[in-house]
Amino acid sequence: MNEKEAPLLEMRHISKDFFGNQVLSDVNFTLKRGEILGLVGENGAGKSTLMKILFGMDEIHQTGGYGGDILLNGEKVAFATSIEALAAGIGMVHQEFSLLPDFSATENILLNREPLKYTVFSELFGERLNILDREKMTEISEKAIKRLAVPLDPEMLVSQMPVGHKQFTEIARELSKEGTGLVEGIKLLVLDEPTAVLSEQEADSLLKAMRLLAETGIAIIFISHRLQEIIDVCDTIMVMRDGKIMKTGPSKGVAIPDIAKWMVGREVNTSAIVHRVFDYENKDIILALRNLWVDMPGEVVRNVNLDVYKGEIIGIGGMAGQGKLGIPNGAMGLFPAGGHVTFEGKDIPLNSPRNFLDAGMAFVSEDRRGVGLLLDETLEWNVSFTAMQIQEKYLKQYLGGFFKWRDQKAIEEETNGYVKQLEIRCTSTKQKAKELSGGNQQKICLAKAFAVAPKLLFVSEPTRGIDIGAKSLVLKALRKYNEEQGTTIVMISSELEELRAICDRIAIVSDGKVLGILPATTDSAEFGLLMVGQKSEMIDGGSV
Amino acid sequence: MTLQRTKSQKVLRFLGNNTVPILFLVICAFGIPLSGYSTNYLVSEVVVRIARNSFLIVSLLIPILAGMGLNFGMTLGAMAGQIGLIFISDWGIVGIPGMLLAMIISTPISIALGLWCGKILNMAKGREMVTSYIIGFFMNGIYQLVVLYGMGSIIPIRSSALVLPRGYGIRNTVNLIGIRKSLDNVLTIKLFGVPIPLVTFAVIALLCIFVLWFKKTKLGQDMRSVGQDMEVARAAGIKVEHTRIVSIVISTVFAGYGMILYLQNIGTLNTYNSHMQIGMFSVAALLVGGATVSKANIRNVFLGVILFHLMFIVSPMAGKNLIGQAQLGEYFRVFVSYGVITISLVLYEVRKKRDRGDAGQLLAAEQGEAE
Amino acid sequence: MNTQNMISSVKSTLKSFGLPRIIIGLFLLLLFILAPFVGVNIGTSLSDTLNRFGMNAVMVLAMVPMIHSGCGLNFGLPLGIIAGLLGGTLSMQFNFTGPSSFMMAILFATPFAVILGWGYGQLLNKVKGGEMMIATYVGFSSVAFMCIMWLLLPYSNPTMVWGYSGSGLRTTISTEGYYLHVLNDFFSIRLTEHLTIPTGMFLFFAVLALIIWAFLHTKTGTAMTAVGSNPVFARASGINVDKIRTLSVVMSTWLGAIGILVYQQSFGFIQLYMGPFYMALPAVSAILIGGASVNKATITNVIVGTFLFQGILTMTPSVMNSMIHTDMSEVIRIVVSNGMILYALTRRTEATR
């Protein structure tokens, strides 16, 4: 490779903040033709923001742009839209498929870019009345598929494809844009976690296809959390953490534990919370999950076995999409699930939230707006509803319990209590839940769960989408509740450091299974290894 | 990994997917011998109904392609067609030229109504059907305002045969003697004693060819994309809203032509009723043919016309012969028409859910192996 | 409070009241103002409006439970009406007369309403998201089915069946001698020669409205509102969403049955066959005019909406007729009622999810 030639892509001093929240600072890297760059980092490390900046996504422009320069072939560029980025030869394959199920691979590859055959009607009614040139469509898509050297049938319907083929279709779509009005030649492809949903075999053929493409001179930015793949396929590895580049270097000679170490160890503002030593001696198992499977789209749980001890705070961590969220949602009954859940020695029938709640468990959902709150109702309703329905709190009973009247006063008192206790900022308890900020909404969700006085509380992503101040408040409230009420807490979070800060032990979930459970005091590099699917000797099954 | 289904499950699935046509076959199988009609009579009646109704039903296909469900707003097109017919009756233009002129008049009205209807439906995504249904009612009010109060007062209508005795407004029934069967009678041949209006059939065939051709155009492809997933289509740069509006406009214009074709066969216009019923009957016929809210093709149209109208023809006689009351048969066919739409809508919603449930079965099966 | 505050509070009140409601309200006011000038007696008009309010209010109230539980606008009201018709006709068949015939009609109608409503609720639970369209057609099919039944059922009371054949119910049956005006005349107050207040009918409605209001304050009522507001939240709180929805449908159906009986006792006739066919639309639009949306409704919405809607229906024919000698009321009714439903269907703000 000619070293004097200007690099294909160079990003200089890129920085970005969302309303004062610094997500990227001083990011520098270069990319040559035909180079494969592996980009790794924990969720929220800034990978996707960096890519969004490269593509000139609306989201970036609407939040005040970015700092630093992007150079393409030595020339400064700033794309206003992803279409401009494409015109310059940069294609992207997103993590979520953007495919139409009832269309064939060819139709999807050429969606809205179909070659047309002239018909007279188009003179009258415009271009859209030309008919599709099916032969040419097949030709183009076959050509694009050929470059990947994969056995993808261009006529197969997407709905009948295995996932791997869907991924190939997506990549072929980007390649097929070459030589059309949109772009002369694809020079750079960004693949965002393309192997996440693939089987090993499929992933292998994808990696092969990537190498093939690179040989033809296309540079690839490969985002993945499967570190072995990164090491196998990439020329260069770039590790991000907390919006900074921790390490850039050739992949040769790098071992997985190194990468894992660079990836994790993020600093979290949890100074106020001190580690404690939880005594597991003579503690009963309060909750046991056996062979749990959960069909939660995007968070499938396959075969989870987990014991939770009375009084502890156990964390469940892992990468997004690996199934950690599926565990509480399935146990609670919000998504179809199977297997066995035993609580205090009793079997809890699955698929019914009522059984779960009656047994004395509660759940704070990660989906605040969808599951956690009655957005159109008052705070009072939100806080009191579950407790009222499950435990008949805040009700005045008449005629021997035949008539259960809502006790407005009791509801108000209780809500006011929580507003004070959790420092919820609101104009009154009559305010609608949708009018609160994210952090305060989260506190309402906690208050709702506290109101039922659960023996065991599932908390899912309690700090997602809330600011730092509120974060530590929420975490402190959880710890305090655990200590004062003796409530066992199962906390699910994507942020390892947050888990390490308040949990006693942490289970790491990958590919829908519990890979291992470690004490929270374990070095974060160990967790990093577990997250990417590597077990070291230190880890032994489910016990502590 | 796929779920293995047993044979009985497959049969059940087939029955489930074709409930409505099978139900109708059964009804017809009982109804035909009960009615006592001769085969010849039935065949010629059905041929007439095919010629009369299929154009209207075909007009429903395009919005289904675009994922907008059954276009109950086709009544808007029917109104436009009727307005065209009222004008040509007033001007005394007869025969094929009259029909053509009526179509020409109806076209801009249909386009305007279709544009408006499409815009409203874009504001009510996810409940297009109920909205288009209410649009039909709403527009019926405006139609009455124009035809019952505007015509003869603001809009000049001279013919006293059309205008109510009070001096304005169109009479309840308008005799379309001028264009009555003018298309049907251009060329008719008798096949086994059954008269077949060849030209009308040719027109319908032409429309079917158009629909088939249309599916191959870029616009047709765009509609299929929008129908499957609006967000994916939008991400690919397809103008989703525009495409949806166009599909409604095309449907409305065709419904207008279809109405003219329908009324030339009938020969009289029920000024304030014809259009209201036609929407319901067309939708029911299409569903009887095995179409669903999201999938319909030309085969469904013809199968539907035949089965639905067979039931329609035989039920009064069958009712009379069975219970002794023709009225009963008439109520029965109304009940069946509505019932069929209800069943189809319910099945559609239930099926949507069932497909989602399959994923869970797969996981359970997988787990079974793991254990 | 300073002026600016007042203006903004007036503005927000107006906004929450909604533009269509204001227009319709002003239109009605205009009609009442115009009435004396074109020779229409205000007393009669007001009396008519009040009477029609009483006749229809219960059927509009029947919208409330289903809207609360998130089943949408009850286009399937005809199903409830059918239960009411069965109750009414049975009560006459068994020759109950006077006030007792009304009581018996309600009693007979109740089991039908419960059974039909239960089945209807089960059906709607299977088609979540597509309730309104299916509700419409359930209404239509059941009316058509009952057309067959009215012909076949062995009714024999000579005031009800066709005279010439002795079987099959008539299209309209007079309630005279049975429950005609049993509510209207109950403590009715005659203010002037033209203005009468049908106290009994109002009281009856008030009792039902109070029951619904109270129900919405109980534990189950709270659950119903929550189910309508966010069904996933309700499920996560251990509520059996399907059961609550079914309950709401049963309540709506029962209220529909009672509603038609109240209507008949004032109107004087039982309308069978295709009579109930389009009865859902006026009730739906009335509650929407009153300020309800596809998933929020209150008793106030019922009262305001019924009054405005029935007011316009009463006033337009008389005032318009006197002014331009044309009865355009039918057209106005169609445009206003369906326009209102369209407005509600196309509004995006109705649910924050």
Of A268 and A316, the structure prediction assigns the larger pLDDT to: A316
The whole-angstrom separation of Cα C287 and Cα C252 is: 14
Report pLDDT digits (tens) over A154-182: 898 888 888 888 888 988 888 888 766 66
The pLDDT of residue B211 is 92
Cβ atoms C270, C81 nearer than 8 A:
no
On whether residue A365 sits in a domain, the answer given is no
Examine the domain organization and report whether A277 and A321 are in the same domain: yes
A136 and A117 in one domain?
Answer: yes
pLDDT at A436 over 90: no
Q: Where among A147, A163, A184 does a domain terminate?
A: A184
Examine residue A202 and state whether it is found in any structural domain, yes or no: yes
CA separation for the pair B99, A283 (Å, rounded)? 89
Q: What 3-state DSSP class applies to C157?
A: coil
Is B225–A103 a contact, with Cβ atoms under 8 angstroms apart?
yes
Q: How far apart are CA A353 and CA C238, in angstroms?
A: 5
* Tally of residues, chain C: 353
Residue A8 pLDDT greater than 80, yes or no: yes
Separation CA B349–CA A363 (nearest Å):
31
pLDDT tens-digit profile of C77-124? 999 999 999 999 999 888 888 888 889 999 999 999 999 999 999 999
Instruction: State how far the Cα of A390 lies from the Cα of B212, in Å rounded to an integer.
Output: 58
The pLDDT-based confidence of B371 (bands split at 50, 70, 90) is very low
Model pLDDT for residues C253-283, shown as the tens digit of each residue: 999 999 999 998 888 888 888 888 888 888 9
pLDDT the model gives residue A266? 54
- The values of phi and psi at residue A24, to 5°, are -140, 135
- Show residues of chain B in contact with A336, CB under 8 Å: 357, 360, 363
Structure tokens at B318: 């069958």
Residue among B294, B252, B286, B301 at smallest CA distance from B135: B252
Structure tokens at C156: 């024999």
A324 and A470 co-located in one domain: yes
Q: Where are the beta strands (DSSP E) in A162-297?
A: 188-192, 219-223, 236-241, 244-250, 285-294
User: How many interface pairs between A and B have CB atoms less than 8 angstroms apart?
Assistant: 79
* Residue A310 forms part of a structural domain: yes
Residue C4 has pLDDT above 70, yes or no: no
Reply yes or no on whether the pLDDT at B139 is more than 90. yes
Pairing of strands B188-191, B194-197: antiparallel
Q: What does the mean pLDDT of chain C come to?
A: 85
pLDDT at residue C348, as a whole number: 59
Write down the pTM of the prediction.
0.84
Nearest chain C residue to A395 by CA distance is C219
Full domain range(s) for residue A322? 267-360+454-544
Q: Report the residue from B331, B348, B353 with minimal CB separation from C148.
A: B331
Contacts of C352 in chain A (CB under 8 A): 369, 375-376, 434
Q: Average model confidence (pLDDT) for chain B?
A: 86
Nearest beta carbon to residue B225 from set A111, A121, A293: A111
DSSP A371: I
A residues 280-299 closer than 8 Å to B (CB): 291, 293-295, 297
Q: Which of A364-378, A434-448, A521-535, B105-119 has the lowest mean pLDDT?
A: A521-535
Query: What does the pLDDT read at residue A113?
Result: 85
At A466, which CATH number? 3.40.50.300
Assign B360 a pLDDT band (cuts: 50, 70, 90): low
Backbone angles phi, psi at C151, to 5 degrees: -75, -35
Give how far Cα B88 sits from Cα of A68, A165, A353, A536, B75, Å: 71, 59, 66, 88, 20
Task: Retrieve residue A71's tokens.
Answer: 């150079």
Question: CB distance B145–C133 less than 8 Å?
Answer: no
SS3 of A297-313: the string is CCCCEEEEEEEEECCCE
With H, G, I as helix, E, B as strand and everything else as coil, classify residue C159: coil
Angle between the N-to-C axes of helices C19-37 and C3-17, in degrees from 0 to 180, rounded to the nearest 10 = 90
Share of residues in chain C with pLDDT > 90 (%): 32
Whether residues A525 and A459 fall in one domain: yes
**What is d(CA A222, CA B165) in angstroms, rounded to the nearest whole number?**
81
Q: What is the pLDDT of residue A1?
A: 43
Long-range Cβ pairs for the range A517-523 (8 Å, 24+): A517/A306, A517/A541, A517/A542, A517/A543, A517/A544, A519/A544, A520/A275, A520/A315, A521/A275
Interface contact B138-C334, CB threshold 8 A: yes
Q: Which residue, A451, A476, A505, sits at the end of a domain?
A: A451
**For an interface test with B, which of A120, A169, A293, A335 has the most B Cβ atoms less than 10 Å from its Cβ?**
A293
Q: Does A114 touch chain B (CB under 8 A)?
A: yes
A185 — pLDDT class (breaks 50, 70, 90): confident
Q: For strand A219-223 and strand A36-41, is the pairing parallel, antiparallel, or unpaired? A: parallel
Q: Quick one: A253 and A226 in the same domain?
A: yes
Per the structure, the count of domains in chain A is 4
What are the backbone dihedrals phi and psi of residue A403, each rounded to the nearest 5 degrees, phi first?
Answer: -115, 115
Chain C residue closest in CA terms to B346: C127
Tell me the average pLDDT across C236-245.
92
* Burial per residue of C259-276, b for 16 or more beta-carbon CB atoms within 10 angstroms, e otherwise: bbbbbbbbbebbbbbebb
* Cβ-Cβ contacts under 8 Å, A386 against chain C: 236-238
Are A100 and B237 within 8 A, CB to CB?
A: no
Mean pLDDT of A338-366: 90
Residue A482 lies in a domain: yes
Of the candidates A468, A464, A509, A462, the one whose C-alpha atom is nearest the C-alpha of residue A482 is A462
B161-218 pLDDT, tens digit per residue, is 888 888 888 898 988 888 888 888 888 888 887 888 999 999 999 999 999 999 989 9
Same domain membership, residue A167 and residue A56:
no
Check whether residue A336 and residue A212 sit in a common domain.
no
Predicted local confidence at residue A83, as pLDDT: 79
Query: Which of these, B36, B54, B11, B15, lies nearest to B318 by C-alpha position?
Result: B36
In chain A, the residue whose alpha carbon lies closest to the alpha carbon of C232 is A371
Residues B305 and B54: beta-carbon distance below 8 Å: yes
Domains in chain B and their CATH numbers? 7-365 (1.10.3470)
> What is the ipTM score, two decimals?
0.84
A538 pLDDT band, cuts 50/70/90, is very low
Same domain assignment for residues A131 and A7: no
Whether A537 has a pLDDT exceeding 50, the answer reads: no
Which DSSP state fits A541?
S
B61 has pLDDT over 90: yes
Domain limit, last residue, from A210, A233, A263 = A263
Residues with Cβ < 8 Å from B347, sequence gap 6 or more?
B16, B19, B20, B292
| H helix and E strand count, chain C | 14, 4
Residues 6+ apart with CB under 8 A from C58: C204, C205, C208, C255, C258, C259, C262, C263
Residues 6+ away with beta carbon under 8 Å from B274: B78, B82, B259, B263
Half-sphere exposure of B80 (CA within 13 A, CB side): 28
The confidence score (pLDDT) of residue B260 equals 93
Tell me whether A174 touches chain B (CB under 8 Å): no
Q: Which residue has the tokens 């271009």?
A: A127
**Chain C touched by A378 (CB under 8 Å):** no
The string of DSSP codes covering B142-178 is: HHHIIIIIIBTTTB----TTTB-TTSSSB-SEEE-TT
Q: Are A109 and A173 in contact (CB under 8 A)?
A: yes
Helix axes B298-323, B326-370, angle to 10 degrees: 130
A389 and A527: one domain?
no
pLDDT band at C207 (very low <50, low <70, confident <90, very high): very high
Of C226, C352, C353, the CB nearest to A385: C226
Q: What are the structure tokens assigned to A163, written together? A: 């996932």
What phi and psi, each to the nearest 5 degrees, are found at residue A149?
Answer: 50, 50
pLDDT at residue A533, as a whole number: 67
Instruction: Please state the φ and ψ torsions of residue A322, each to the nearest 5 degrees.
Output: -95, -10
Residue B263 in this model has a pLDDT that exceeds 80: yes
Give A365's contacts in chain C (Cβ within 8 Å): 236
Mean pLDDT over each residue of chain A, to the nearest integer: 84
| Mean pLDDT value of segment A356-380 | 89
- Residues C248, C245: Cα–Cα separation, whole Å: 5
Helix (H) or strand (E) holding A93: strand A90-93
